[in-house]
Amino acid sequence: MAHTCVSTSASSLRFSSVPFSPNSSTNLDSHKLSVPFHPLRPRDDLQVPSSPYFPAYAQGQGPPPMVQERFMSVISQLFLYRIVRCGGPVDDDMANIIVAQLLYLDALDPKKDIVMYINSPGGSVTAGMAIFDTMRHIRPDVSTVCVGLAASMGAFLLSAGTKGKRYSLPNSRIMIHQPLGGAQGSQTDIEIQANEMLHHKANLNGYLAYHTGQSLERINQDTDRDFFMSAKEAKEYGLIDGVILNPLKSLQPLAAAADSSEQLSV
């Protein structure tokens, strides 16, 4: 599936300091500190942002532990409401976490739906298929919701939700294409990898045809190159069942797909 390079920018933290000499008793008196010291009030330049979505960290470093803990706390709270997050490139680490979450929620209550939010550019085919097989293996229905982008394996997982319970927000983009990859080595090694890619292509396109109701011939044609769709176009194509225009309460799956189509789609 698609490989996406994600670049992040970090803001530098600058602190003003004063040269200190142990032999000078008037050293501190001859300079003014840029940030006054108040023992009962935390310094502003050492504050951690209150929002987990606005990290500020030094150049070349990751987010501070407090920011990471706060963000994971948000994810944990959503998990209590049976909401699973599929965000970022699909890889083995993400797949292992999502598989474990799905299995746990299945054991916790097999009759309650699970909602999976997808904002992913795609990634590993095998990792994505691990999530897909688990979605089919567990007993609860899995409702999928696209926020932002569902491309490549992300779009495949979006279409793999329970029929009648696959949604998208109105400004999301959905993209399907054939598996991407490369090989090197001897002629035999390259042939082995090429056959493996052909297997994945046939397997994925077969499932896409089943999920969307499109013919296999059209799926093969449309996935030959990147095929982008709006939320409305994805509904018409059969990748999703409705476009959510109402508040969060509309995310609860309706009893009938027909009612869902009338109330949630544009």
Is position 3 annotated as part of the catalytic site?
A: no
How far apart CA 161 and CA 144 sit, in angstroms, is 5
Please state, in angstroms and as integers, the Cα–Cα distance from residue 174 to each residue in 82, 89, 150, 259, following that order.
24, 15, 5, 23
How far apart CA 147 and CA 37 sit, in angstroms, is 45
Cite the beta strand spans of 126-194 per DSSP E: 142-151, 166-168, 173-176
Strand-strand pairing, 173-176 and 227-230: antiparallel
Is position 265 annotated as part of the catalytic site?
A: no
Tell me the β-bridge partners of 256: none
In the numeric block, which tokens belong to residue 142? 């899995």
Q: H helices within 81-186, ranges in order? A: 92-108, 125-137, 153-159
What is the DSSP code string of 47-98?
PPPS-TTS----TT----HHHHHHHHHHHHHHHHTTEEEEES-B-HHHHHHH
Q: Which of 143, 152, 260, 265 is catalytic?
A: 152
Look-up of token digits 């493996």: 196
How far apart CA 13 and CA 231 sit, in angstroms, is 40
Q: Which of 143, 159, 168, 177 is catalytic?
A: 177
Catalytic residue numbers read 152, 177
